[in-house]
Amino acid sequence: MPIEEKLIIEPWDDGEGNSPIEDFLAELPAKSFRYIVRKREYYEKRTVQQLKNNRLFLEDIKGTDSKLWELKFRSSPQYRAVCIIRGNSIIMLVMFKGSGSEGEVMRHVPKALERSIAWDERYLSSNDQ
């Protein structure tokens, strides 16, 4: 049985070091920021498959042509990240405050798709060379 590589959760950036995810996190209250850091560390001790197997942690977003995932930070208040999975990496494309219900997550899908395409163009095409 092959050993899976260590899971890495990383924020999307624009290729010039600007990350709206990092900006979002920097604006959070200290308690929420600490919670998200601890939860991210907890998630990174698992494999992608272990997270996929538990909808409380990671859930696929239905109704899109692209494979997007919702990474959940369940606290009070709740936070969510719309992500892509590439190998052993989860790339957080958009992060928001809220439960994701009542269409909240779908509101962030267009921006997430745009960032997903940019990420793939930047990193997947560079691996082909």
Multiple choice CATH, 8-128, 3.30.2310.20, 3.30.70.2700, 3.40.50.300, 3.40.50.10310: 3.30.2310.20
> Quick one: pLDDT at residue 104?
83
- 27 pLDDT tier (thresholds 50, 70, 90): very high
Antiparallel, parallel or unpaired: β 69-73 and 79-86: antiparallel
* Residue 27 half-sphere exposure toward CB, CA atoms < 13 A: 9
Which of 82 and 4 is assigned the larger pLDDT? 82
> Model confidence over 64-98: pLDDT tens digits?
778 999 999 988 889 999 999 999 999 999 999 98
Q: What is the largest CA-CA distance in the chain?
A: 45
Torsion of CA 22, 27, 30, 36, to 10 degrees: -40
> Model confidence over 92-104: pLDDT tens digits?
999 999 876 667 8
> Quick one: pLDDT at residue 14?
93
User: What distance in Å separates the CA atoms of residue 119 and residue 29, rounded to the nearest whole number?
Assistant: 29
pLDDT surpasses 60 at 2: no
